[in-house]
Amino acid sequence: MAKLKAFTMPKWGIEMAEGTIAEWMVAENAPFARGTVLTLIETDKITNEVEAEAEGRFVRIIAKAGETYAVGALLAVLSDGGEATAAEIDALIAGFRPSDTSFDPEADTPVSAVNADPVPVAAIAVPEGIAISPVALASAQELGIDLAQVSGSGRNGRISLQDVHQAARTPQPPVLVGAFPLLPEGPVMATPVARRLAALHELDLGKVTGTGPRGRVRKSDVMAAIANAAPAPQLIAAPVASTASGAPEIVPMSSMRRTIARRLTQSKQEIPHFYVRRRVRADRLLAHRAASIGEKPSVNDYLIRACALALLEVPAVNIQVHGTDIHQFHQADIAVAVATDRGLVTPIVFGADNLGLGTIAATMKELAQKARSGKLRPEEFAGGSFSLSNLGGFGVEQFDAIINPPQGAILAVGTARPEPIDDDGAIRIVPVLHLSLSCDHRAIDGADAGRFMAALARLIEQPALLTGN
């Protein structure tokens, strides 16, 4: 016998009163797995993907795409996968009563679109002196949790829904396996972090003087060598020394700087920016790059290729916005930020989706040299369907970039730093990139931005997918 549940309109935020079904992502009676995107729901502020909390199928979809429903309204009938008769489904629909969606600061609101049928909470005994929210009590009844063994994390020890779910899980202590190996030990003694930093910045460890025991190269030695080898170019003019009178010297903006200032000011004033951020493991990409033969593409070259392929998967981000018109491109023209002594320039790698890593590396090297020498032609930096700005080489961990109009989005990339991640239940310490996508909300929705970041993360974490051409 199937276990049926009501799939209802979720509530995101205190002010949300209704939502619109943008699209059903699964068909009626089609089985789905845990984590499958079931539907896209739009509100006046966001577009969210609703994912399945467990495997199952919709035995009846009631709500129609494009229509608006109040929070708590019945959208569909969910089955755990078993068969259900039409009479059973009709009985659930006839007996359904929307839950109370009024705001109560003392109550817990489960962040879920799948609500169980009403449960008589009087059937479970609550030990004296224990405070528990109504939804947590209903969940404890369903799961058979002994409330005396649950520690509340809410105000004054109040038991929340999260506390109940945590108590229902089988405790599994983390498995510590140490740092993920990136490079094999070479003739130079160095710490793992020093080796990763050296690989990231293309630094020869044999030329670095180690200050550790027996001359072992440490992180501080590599950082000092990087700073001495290539002082970071500045994106704005360096502070000018004061004159003898103490007053600063006034230096007028160059034509390029005035253009940058005008365009970025216009961008922030006229474009409604929103940001989507994600952490992505970079150890596999760095290892893939280290194992490549011949002249190695830079990390930025890999990112250009990954962005191009992700844009083909999510064309809604591969756009320009011109007034009330959206121009959607069929190839990925990636504008890449390059710092020069005159300001920031964004030469374009046209058709990056059709270029291999080696071609992208050669193209980008030529464009960067032209940009720094001021020899770029207008057609080499005008246009583009997407921008990439990477400040990882400057040690910046994370930042948000301003959209370069008329493009609809720009990706900001920070440096890869060692961080713990969950790798199939094991805790590993690997280099992690912090990505931030700035989007024009007039043309790009949150769901599209989320799909793009998911596609980009998959490509970065599986670098073999980037070497198809």
Active site residues: 441
Q: CA angle at residue 19 from 118 to 13, to 5 degrees?
A: 75
Helix axes 192-200, 283-291, angle to 10 degrees: 70
How far, in whole angstroms, is CA 12 from its chain's centroid? Answer: 19
Q: CA angle at residue 264 from 258 to 265, to 5 degrees?
A: 85
Sort residue 180 into left (φ over 0), alpha (ψ -120 to 50) or beta.
beta
State both tokens at 53: 């909390």
